[in-house]
Chain A
Amino acid sequence: MSEKPNSEHILIIDDEESIRDGCKQALERFGFHVLSASDGQEGIRIARELHPAIAFVDLKMPSVSGMEVIEILSKDIEDIVLIVITGYASILSAVESLKKGAYDYIPKPFTPDQLRAVARRALEHRNLKIEAKKLKEEKEQIERNFITFVSHEMRSPLATIQQYMEALRVVSGDCLGTEAFDIVERCTKRIQNLEALVEHWLDLSRIENGTFAVDREPVDLHSVVEKAVDEMSHLCQIRGISVITNFPDVQPKIEGDKESLIRVLINIIGNATKYTPSGGTISIGISYDDHYVKLSVKDTGSGIPKEKLPFIFEPFYRAGGKEERQRGSGLGLTFCKRIMEAHGGAISVNSEEGRGTTFILTFPR
């Protein structure tokens, strides 16, 4: 074994002095550092103080029983490996103790070799457990770092390129011919899209690793709609699309995260503006029954072909095909779906080609 066993303590809790001494001798000869306690109370005290790697616990002791000691130690002492010392007659209670958190048992009488073998196995188990825990923590750390990495290392250069574009426009804008100016405009647009992609991708990673804030507080959907419509009104105006809202008199509140829901709605309205021709309408309505509150966003756009409907919430799926490449991150609806799921709700879609599309957000009441 590569680890130095003598750097860790083994605790023997047994009321029989001969067992304690026997174990101590057998294990010390192998290089372990052995502590001993003659009853449960003392054993728990020593374990809490010195955090042994392994504790051998006699099941049958006066006052505090071995079973109780097992229960307490497995709860209190991180990574401790517990082994029950038991008589042949009490194999059943040994099994019971495994349920309470013991890792193994050793029946009396046992030889020093048997004891050492059990101790070694217990240490190996402990090392594996600690290793696995470390790996898991590392993995989580990498995930968190990745998000930070993307935030900084990908956004910064994008921002810098955009700043150069701004500088180019300011410094030489007047000297550029229409064609060259057009190129600058197109580059800017593409970079903005790339930025949006990074942004959406970050949002999805945050949802996946649980760092995306989904607060749960009573939310008034009415105000969510108003905020989102307000945000999108300028774009709708430019595109010549009117927005109609239709709310019931009574507003049932839902539980959720207002900011995320506003973003969901902005995404859906944004989508609608892409596929709705000038002169069209986007209608937003709220309805409810005893169990659900529904928010619908209906457009008079080109609609989505039936065969494509099942895929539109998939990442990077584009119902519009290749021409749509330049128009968004391809993650907007995936984001909406994840946010709705985080709310215990759902998003669904109905569409008829040439007539329009309706997205429905369903929230439990």
Chain B
Amino acid sequence: MKRFFAFVVKEFKHILRDYRTLLILFGMPIAQILLFGFAITNEIKDAKIAILDFSKDNVTQEISNKILSSGYFLLYKNLNSIKDIEPAFKEGIIKEVIIFEQDFSKNLSKSNLANVQIIADASDPNLANMLIGYTSSIILDYQKDLSSGKSLPPLINTDIKMLYNPNLKSVFMFVPGLMAVILLLVSAMMTSISIAKEKELGTMEILLVSPLNPLQIIVGKVIPYFFIALINYIIVIVLAKFVFLVPINGSFALLVLESILFLITSLSLGILISTISNNQQTALMISLSALMLPTIILSGYIFPIENMPLPLQIISNVLPAKWFIIIVRGIMLKGVSFSYIVVETLVLVGMTLFFILLSVKKFKIRLE
């Protein structure tokens, strides 16, 4: 036990003396959550639009006002003819043009049908989709207002409601994924690098020719990173809750327990990577290319898994982060209880056991 304790102390010294890595370890989660929280957003705010109003009556005026006062759009200019549309887009400032037909209000009251056309700059398809969605829902909203109090049935009744993220706050979406990425980065990557470092510097050679057994070496390596990852995790949670007001609708204890489970999964992955890499660079490359990249792209962190081609959807199943993100979104945003995430939890437990078994099998008690 004294041996093991000395080993853990040594590990902490390595970590605490490497200021730069330490700075990255603690700075990165903060930087990431601030970046995703403030800068990278899928939300629309003050999108510049142009309006081409052939009718210029009180109804089109009201709709325009409603759209512009929503906070999502900003009127860049009023257009006078169809010919102006193309140049207006080419300027590159406006993202959308709204066109009201002639006699809009008259048509609406006479035949109950008026036409409005929305043209969006689809060079950024996601943004265009969202702009159109926002605009049409505002118009629908107006339609509803108009029809209420009248004996006529509502013209169209579309109920758009953004479930779980009513304000479409992207930070709500990102936080669970961010937790997964940070836990994975700190635990898997740092553990694998730290074990590979001993091999690279030749110190593993003397550790092997000593009474320390492999289990002591591995667990001793893992413990400091377990704590660092835990601290990081707390930072992310606190920032999410108090700076970005992400709700934790479910049980906090359950969230923490599931996170610790994922932490152990990541650590065991790190050990597995270290057993197959002989130097720090290999460990880093494997962690980055085989772990980080797929996790960021395929786990549902940023891009929804449902929108991926089928092969990628299947591949996404092998990523522990995918299951963890489902769990965290479930607990934080939907407030589900444990019974809803049993399957995901079991998948993580299974993966962890598999990784540990494989690493124990692959750990070399000798040099080759």
Q: Does B associate with A?
A: no
Q: Which residues of A contact B (CB under 8 A)?
A: none
Q: Which residues of B contact A (CB under 8 A)?
A: none
